[in-house]
Amino acid sequence: MGSTSLNHGGIGSSRTTTSFKSSSSSVDWLGREMLDMNIRDRTLEEDDDKDSEPEVIDSVGAEAGHVIATTVGGRNGQSRQNISYIAEHVVGTGSFGVVFQAKCRETGEIVAIKKVLQDKRYKNRELQIMQMLDHPNIVALKHNFFSTTDKEELYLNLVLEFVPETVYRVAKHYTRMNQRMPLIYVKLYTYQICRSLAYIHNCIGICHRDIKPQNLLVNPHTHQLKLCDFGSAKVL
């Protein structure tokens, strides 16, 4: 996460020091708790969880085990490199297309690939916006490529960094346990959401237009939050 300080107390204040130590220990404890929550167990998810749809999407190359090969680089003096991904399972679907988890065969890196039907007459607005963004609280675009199906349909593939959880799933975990989400989680996530929005609004001039828990990714090991899905975003 960013280096911006959250400490507004006086320098050398014993109250501030005590508060900081208490918060740090709380974060460490919550980190251990979050790893024990088993929120990855999708068998416990309710039917209304839109982030966990069936794992086979016909005709778009997202079937488990499907291999996607592409070439990256070749611009600005960069050497061209062949990369292939193995689709593992679908993590999200919608009218836009499909998002699936994949593994790079060459490096073993886990990524998320968002595959959307592309109209050949127009440029993809989401791709143009993603190429403008660079912030620790926004999911990073690694590269992109196009693919076609047997029906000559053109698809845009956005290769994104993979973040395993969402605020939606974390909140659902506590709901099932009849508990409130710990306040420190609420503060951590709210702060990072505000950072991402301040960046896209003030620095880039973009409105996301689809802020919801499903579009707020969370790393359970670091608690870093990342805003994703700029499919509805527009330049202000």
Cα radius of gyration rounded to whole Å, the chain:
20
Give me the count of residues in the chain.
Answer: 236
**Of all helices (H) and strands (E), which one includes residue 27?**
helix 14-35
- Which residues of the chain fall short of a pLDDT of 50? 1-24, 26-27, 38-60
pLDDT of residue 190: 98
Q: What is the pLDDT of residue 227?
A: 98
DSSP SS3 for 53: coil
Distance CA 211, CA 227 (A): 8
Q: What is the pLDDT of residue 50?
A: 40
Cβ neighbourhood burial of 194 (10 Å; 0-12, 13-18, 19+): exposed
Summarize the annotated binding site for ATP as residue ranges.
115
Q: What is the pTM of this model?
A: 0.73
CA-to-CA dists, residue 4 to 135, 136, 159, 219, angstroms: 13, 12, 29, 19
User: What is the tens place of the pLDDT at every residue in 147-199?
Assistant: 888 888 899 999 999 999 999 999 999 999 999 999 999 999 999 999 999 99
- Note if 210 is an active site residue: yes
Q: Which segments are annotated as binding site?
A: 115
Between CA 199 and CA 233 the distance in angstroms is 14
Q: Which domains does the chain have, with CATH numbers?
A: 19-46+164-235 (1.10.510.10), 67-161 (3.30.200.20)
* Candidates 28, 51, 210, 229; catalytic one: 210
